[in-house]
Amino acid sequence: MISKILVPVDGSSHADLAAEKAVEIAEKFNARVTFYHVIFPPSRYMVVDIPPDFFQNLLDEMEKQGQNLLARYVEKYQGRVSVSSLIDFGHPADMICRRAEEDKYDMIVIGTRGLGAIKGYLLGSVSDRVSHHARVSVLIVK
Ligand SMILES: Nc1ncnc2c1ncn2[C@@H]1O[C@H](COP(=O)(O)OP(=O)(O)O)[C@@H](O)[C@H]1O
Ligand SMILES: [Mg+2]
């Protein structure tokens, strides 16, 4: 039984492919798709002498961009399947694994690569880590 599918997205074309595949699966199983974005916050200790609001403004801007990204997926697919979206702050791979387990998703559908494509590697660091550490099934879309 597949009723909840988690689709981590980062704005890459690989994530778009994963989203499309997840929606196709969801249509067959009448499952719900959650588009999920994780913001990796830069360390506030890396920069000295910054204005007090700088760090919070940066996080707010990152969150706004993340929400815009998720809204695009929701808009695109809400007519086909039941969709929702979710945003978190933290280490992307760890958050994806934790969310999937805690919120009892049946499956994670993720892209092979992302925005940080380094030539020669088949898997990105997030998809590699998720495939090894997630406690739910992972579909890596190629
Ligand atoms: N910050 C993130 N939030 C949610 N999903 C992500 C994030 N980063 C990557 N992903 C997911 O992981 C897939 C692989 O990306 P990644 O492992 O980061 O590759 P790369 O090293 O090429 O950037 C993406 O297609 C996307 O599905
Ligand atoms: Mg990446």
Nearest-angstrom CA–CA distance, 86 and 92: 13
Tell me which residue range forms the domain holding 86: 4-141
Confidence of residue 122 (pLDDT cuts 50, 70, 90): confident
Q: Could you report the per-residue pLDDT of 72-119, keeping only the tens digit for each?
A: 999 999 999 999 999 999 999 999 999 999 999 999 999 999 998 777
Query: Is the pTM here over 0.85, yes or no?
Result: yes
Ligand 1 and 66: CB distance under 6 A? no
Q: Which residues 6+ apart lie within 8 Å of 7 measured at CB? A: 15, 18, 19, 22, 33, 34, 35, 36, 73, 108, 109, 110
pLDDT digits (tens, 9 = 90+) for 29-71: 999 999 999 999 887 666 667 787 888 899 999 999 999 999 9
User: For tokens 């994780």, what's the residue?
Assistant: 38
Work out how many domains the chain is built from and give that number.
1
CB-based contact 6:70 (threshold 8 Å): no
Please identify every residue whose CB atom is under 5 Å from ligand 2, which is an ion: 114, 116
Q: Tell me what pLDDT residue 8 has.
A: 98
Q: Is the CB of 140 under 6 A from ligand 1?
A: no
CATH code, 78 = 3.40.50.620
Ligand 1 geometric centre to CA of 78 (Å): 22
